[in-house]
Structure 1
Amino acid sequence: MSTPLNRRVFLRTTAIAGGTTAFTGALWHQAFADPAQPGAGPYGPPLAADANGLQLPKGFTGRVVARSLQRVPGTRHTWHPAPDGGACFGDGDGWVYVSNSEVPLVGGASAVRFGADGTVTSAYRILNGTTLNCAGGATPWGTWLSCEEHDLGLVYETDPLGAKSARSHPAMGRFKHEAAACDPERKVVYLTEDQSDGCFYRFRPKTWGELSEGTLEVLLGTGTGPVRWAQVPNPRLWTTPTRNQVSGAMRFDGGEGCFYASGICYFTTKGDNRVWSYDAAAERLDLAYDDDLVTEGEPPLTGVDNITGASSGDLFVAEDGGNMEINLITPDGTVTPFLRLLGHDESEITGPAFSPDGSRLYFSSQRGKSGFVAGTDGYTYEVTGPFRH
């Protein structure tokens, strides 16, 4: 197998020569022309690292909110190991940041509550007794979908405020779940699968706002361009995995983050360093970013993982490895580093999410400075600054 660099050079060469190995005709033009290219970002480059190892653009500041196996400052709650996917929810004048724990058997999820001025007021568990809770997604009705990443994994719906008990939703399928994103226009939930031959799914609930019943569908297609959906026959109990139940299901190399905005569902695949864009109205799949289609210099974004977006239309993509950055993809198709974390070389950045007013960005370093696989050295951060709206 060729190295990623050799494959990138090969793809560039065939594009320039009019080759048809990867794509043909208009399909190749679409894939080659549209993916984001490196350029200057709206905030400028990351500057020298602060005391926490954060390199941030001018005007931005950062702080550590919590550390794994230590009490969250100002509370009696001990923060979980291996912090992963996360999201923010409004809570009166303040807000709540929820975070999964990607460890076996005791994974679950926790939350930190902030007051109107950003002060931590409490921290608590919202999900217990689950395993390898990786990413997930927020719902329009104010709950957090926490996804288990194993072959029989479930989606759990949790209350960010900690008042209601969590519920599992087997109708959303038992597979190696990664992330979820809600589409309120079509009243569906998109789901990624972290397998090297995984699929992209959507769940159509019988009643919007209630996820206990509905239909799981899988995306069918052969690449960028028009796609369609087909029902998965046995999403709950199976002898054949969900990804192998429908002929023609499109394969994705390690599904990761998922984010929906303005008719487009963006999702990432780590095996080929791609950010996909699914146009829900047109039922069309395209590439927002592909490191093999960067035409000048080395790709700034590698190890694509969790993804979120700002009200400005900017996408923020976290790296699993790479050089521990969160990269920005702007609406005009520029990809550029936004922040970088030094001294966490064996970790990954997880759980990027904005506060409800868009002024603060939260994320974690899952394995911290030690890189220990159990995630006992995880860090959760907050970055504050002049994010554009």
Structure 2
Amino acid sequence: MLRRTAPCTQAPTTGTVLAGSLWHEAADPVTRRPGGPYGPLREPDVNGVALPEGFTSRIVARTGRRIGGVLWHPAPDGGACFPDGDGWIYVSNSEAPLLGGASAIRFGPGGAVVDAYRVLSGTNLNRAGGRTPWNSWLSCEEILRGRVFECDPYGSRAAMPRLAMGRFRHEAVSCDPDRGVVYLTEDEPDGCFYRFRPAYWGDLTSGVLEVLCATSDRGPVTWRRVPDPGGARAATRDQVGDAKHFSGGRGCHYADGLCLFATGGDDRVWAYDAERERLEVAYDAGAPPAAAEAVTPSGDLYVTRDGGDMEIDLITPDRVVTPVLRISGHPGSEITGPALSPGGDRLYFSSKRGPRGDASGTDGVTYEVTGPFRR
């Protein structure tokens, strides 16, 4: 599953330079090798995190323990960073049933935790989500007829449902300010890939939901309007006959005219070329990356791995894959929510189920890694 985020000083598409030619050459092989630009991983530190030389880790939050003004939520999942004066904010979803929602941690300029608070409550199984260019957080419910909620990461305004964006098993969203649309993935075995065209860019209360239509895995696509975004009588993925179906949509990210999104059922990363309206397979993994969530201006892509690996890998612009960290002692968990801080020198992420691997996520751990990440 691929997710990608920008350094949190800017909107997701600003400063996240990922050369289009890299992903237009979708069939190029990816080479996996140890070491890479940061060198080999050392032995795990006191937090159980193996890192290259020059990098350090700390635990910033644990499920059920107080941080700032809240108890940190269960099953921490998708996340993003936002600028906050000379500090920053990290927002994290909770993939917990019924409780769900999202919480935020506010950091001061030196990285000290200043406060923590809820930005969304009373929702269900909130998964990947995504951030907007106007610095709001879109939290997605991964349930039947799930909703997208627009949240204020600064905690000043109440979260609002954006029902025009469709009622289905949402996973991730990514904004395309060049065309004024939002892309959405659907986590179903036969899910679809959607785009939402708001009536006014920056206001997601109304607009048109469309589904991608194609006859093959590679080539031109068309978009058709979903007649009933609410899915009251038929699921959105079943309303358009020539809609293309994907095996378990995961995270997505738009940059430089391309929207990359991943499918967990077949371990693929897809590239939608928004300028030419074409679809390609960008990465077809034998051993899958689980979620990619961080992109640097250099074009580096950070990819989280689960399925027992508990790694974050780096994919360089020359398509070399190398591990940059590994968590030990969490065999039943997965890494979620990676996001880079404003200066690009801190990476936040969570072990959703923690060392106990409790399916309810009551042992979740949220980390910060500091080091000389390539810019």
Instruction: Provide TM-score, normalisation by structure 2.
Output: 0.90
Aligned-partner Cα distance in 2 for 1:345–1:218: 37
- Report the CA distance between 1:307 and its aligned residue: 2.7
**Percent identity for Structure 1 against Structure 2:** 61
**Worse overlay, 98-107 or 39-48:** 39-48
How far apart, in 1, do the equivalents of 2:277 and 2:45 lie?
44
SS in 2 for 1:149: coil
Aligned to 2:206: 213
Q: 1:275 — aligned with what?
A: 269
Structure 2 counterparts to residues 1-389 of structure 1, below 5 A: 33-39=27-33, 41-72=36-67, 75-221=68-214, 222-292=216-286, 299=287, 302=288, 304-389=290-375
C-alpha displacement at 1:212, in angstroms?
Answer: 0.5
Task: Report the secondary structure of 1:134's partner residue.
Answer: coil
Task: Kindly indicate whether the alpha-carbon contact (under 8 Å) linking 2:217 and 2:281 is maintained by their aligned counterparts in 1.
Answer: no
SS in structure 1 at match of 2:326? strand
Does structure 1 retain, via aligned residues, the 8 Å contact 2:25–2:282? no
- Report the more deviating stretch, 311-320 or 340-349: 311-320
Residues of 2 paired with 1:249 and 1:69: CA distance? 42
Alpha-carbon distance in 2 for matches of 1:164, 1:34: 45
Deviation, 1:49, is 0.8
Match in the other structure for 1:12 = none
CA distance in structure 2 between the aligned counterparts of 1:277 and 1:34, rounded to whole angstroms: 13
1:64-108 CA-to-partner distances (Å, cap 9, x unmatched) read: 010000012xx2421000000000000010000000000111110
Letter in 2 for 1:268: A
Taking CA–CA contacts closer than 8 Å with sequence separation of 6 or more, which of the two structures ends up with the larger relative contact order? 2
- The answer as to whether partners of 1:110 and 1:127 remain within 8 angstroms in 2 is yes
Which of the pair has more CA radius of gyration?
1
Separation in structure 1 between the aligned mates of residue 104 and residue 141 of structure 2, nearest angstrom: 17
Q: Deviations over 1:181-202 (max 9, x none)?
A: 1111111111111111111111
1:322 positional shift: 3.7
Per the alignment, in what secondary structure is the counterpart of residue 133 of structure 1? Answer: coil
- Encode CA deviations 1:21-61: one digit per residue, 9 max, x unaligned: xxxxxxxx976x32533245322232211111111122111
CA deviation profile, 1:222-280 (whole Å, cap 9, x unmatched) = 20222221111110242110111111211111111111222221111111111222221
In the TM superposition, what is the alpha-carbon distance from 1:306 to its structure 2 partner?
A: 4.8
**Aligned amino acid, residue 163 of structure 2:** P
> TM-score, normalised on structure 1?
0.87
- Tell me the SS of whatever aligns to 1:171: helix
Most deviating of 197-206 and 327-336: 327-336
Question: 1:118-154: CA deviations, max 9, x gaps?
Answer: 0000000000111101110010001000000011100
Can you give the 5+ residue segments of structure 2 that lack an aligned partner in the other structure? 1-23
Checking the alignment, whether the CA contact within 8 Å between 1:258 and 1:308 is kept in structure 2 is no
Per mean C-alpha deviation after superposition, the further-off stretch among 258-267 and 189-198 is 258-267
Distance 1:225 1:322 in 2: 35
Unaligned runs of 5+ in 1: 1-28, 293-298
Partner secondary structure for residue 135 of structure 1: coil
CA contact (8 A) 2:289 2:303 kept: no
Q: Distance in 2 between matches of 1:358 and 1:55?
A: 20
Contact preservation (8 Å) 1:268, 1:307: no
RMSD, aligned CA: 1.6
The answer on whether the counterparts of 1:263 and 1:279 sit within 8 Å (CA) in structure 2 is: yes
Give the number of aligned pairs: 350
Amino acid in structure 1 at the alignment position of 2:92: S
Write the distance in 2 (CA, Å) between the matches of 1:37 and 1:252. Answer: 25
Moved more, 357-366 or 237-246: 237-246
CA contact (8 A) 1:199 1:250 kept: yes
Q: In proportion to residue count, which structure has more helix?
A: 1
